[in-house]
Each structure stands twice: as C-alpha cells, then as structure tokens.
Amino acid sequence: GDSVTQMEGPVTLSEEAFLTINCTYTATGYPSLFWYVQYPGEGLQLLLKATKADDKGSNKGFEATYRKETTSFHLEKGSVQVSDSAVYFCALIASVSNDYKLSFGAGTTVTVRA
Amino acid sequence: DVKVTQSSRYLVKRTGEKVFLECVQDMDHENMFWYRQDPGLGLRLIYFSYDVKMKEKGDIPEGYSVSREKKERFSLILESASTNQTSMYLCASTSAGAGGNEQFFGPGTRLTVL
C-alpha cells in the first residue's frame, strides 16, 4: 500500500542552523506530496506541496523538491528560527484525480533553541 | 478566514461511556475526515465522508462510528470508550475536485479515557 517514511526525531537545532528532514514514499501511480506543520497546541496546516515530478514547493523559507527517481521529498530550510519549533509531517495523496485521503509519515519534532 | 472547529479541546471520559466528538467546517467542503494522532505513529485515518449521509472506513475504524447529517458537520462516535482510545483526535476537510487540494484541520480534541 501507499506509505510515507520520514526521519525520526526529535531534532534539536540552534537558531540560524540548516534543517533537513528526510522523507521517502511508496506509492502506485503519481502521488501528490505534502509537508504539513503542527505548531504547539494547534492543528496541522499545510506548509508546502508538489503535485508532479521535479516540482519544488516552497513557503516561509522552507523548500522541498519532488524526486521521482529517488521517491523522495526532503524538507529543507537554510536558517531556522525559534518560531520554527513544531512537528513536521510528510504526506501523500496516491491518486490525484479521485482520491482525497492523505497518508502521513510518523512526524518529526523539531526544537530550535535561541 | 476558513475554519474547522471541534467541539472540545480537552475531554475526559470513563471506560464504557459513549463519546461524541463534533466537527464543523464553514468552507462548504464536500469531504471531511477524522484522524487520530499518536506519538510515533503520525496521523491515522479513522473514517471519512465525501458527501452528506455518506461514510467510508479508513485504516482504523474499529470501535468508532460516524455521522454526517449535514454538509458542514461530521461527528465521530466512540460507542463504548476504552483506555486504548486515549489520543488526540483531528478533524479535517477539503473541497472536491483535483486530489491535490489542501486539507484544513481543526485544533484537535485531546481525549483521555480513564
């Protein structure tokens, strides 16, 4: 079945450090890929997405590129801030045309220290 | 501002009680979802609905049921609560159309079953 594997946390960084969270997927067909973020005490919100191979999603300084050859969608940010402390989820929708169900990774908790 | 609201942020119930979790969205979305979130497991889909009166089982439906009598409201029911249903419950909605659409999440209900 469709699945997402993301690097385990927790990850602790200092401000202005470089952040990478690895995400790989298994899916039939051509999935759409997403990163969601959950700030403390809140629900999830979409951070960025990519719907086809080689697309790059970007938002709030975060980027991720849809790599079909390596079935990956790694999240990166060049200089993190304390406000980036959150849980990050990689997710996919397996079939764009008629399926709205998301499959999520386990989540990676990121803590950024001042 | 689009919104998904959930009836309670925190709930404490006793084993064997019937529990109702309510979710309301104001975006006229056709599709609604219930997930549970547990550390290390990410989000797992319990039930979903693509239309009023329609419901489909997700990955972990056992011990749960749902009701969708109106388009904006999707209720999750724990028929007889058990301690292993202690978890964070998240509701989400999305519009019909291409499957790459963003899911909008509520703030979650943290349920404790004693």
What's the pLDDT tens digit per position in B79-106?
999 999 999 999 999 988 765 578 999 9
The answer to whether A99 and A13 have CB atoms below 8 angstroms apart is no
Output the CA torsion B98→B100→B102→B103 (10° steps): 80
Mutate to test the interface with B, among A92, A93, A100 (most CBs of B within 10 A): A100
Mean pLDDT over A89-105 rounds to 81
Q: What is the pLDDT of residue B100?
A: 59
- Low pLDDT (below 70) residues in chain B: 1-2, 98-100
Count other Cβ atoms within 10 Å, centred on residue B6.
20
Q: Which residues does chain B have within 8 Å of residue A36's beta carbon, measured at their own beta carbons?
A: 105
Convert the pLDDT of each residue in A36-48 to its tens digit: 999 998 899 999 9
Find tokens 């909605």 and name the residue.
Answer: B93
Closest to B35 in 3D by CA, of B23, B43, B27: B43
Say if the Cβ atoms of A46 and B103 lie within 8 Å: yes
User: Rounded distance, CA A34 to CA B90, Å?
Assistant: 17
Gap from B84 CA to chain A (nearest CA, Å): 19
Per-residue pLDDT at B8: 92
pLDDT of amino acid A96: 53
Contact of A35 with A57, CB cutoff 8 Å: yes
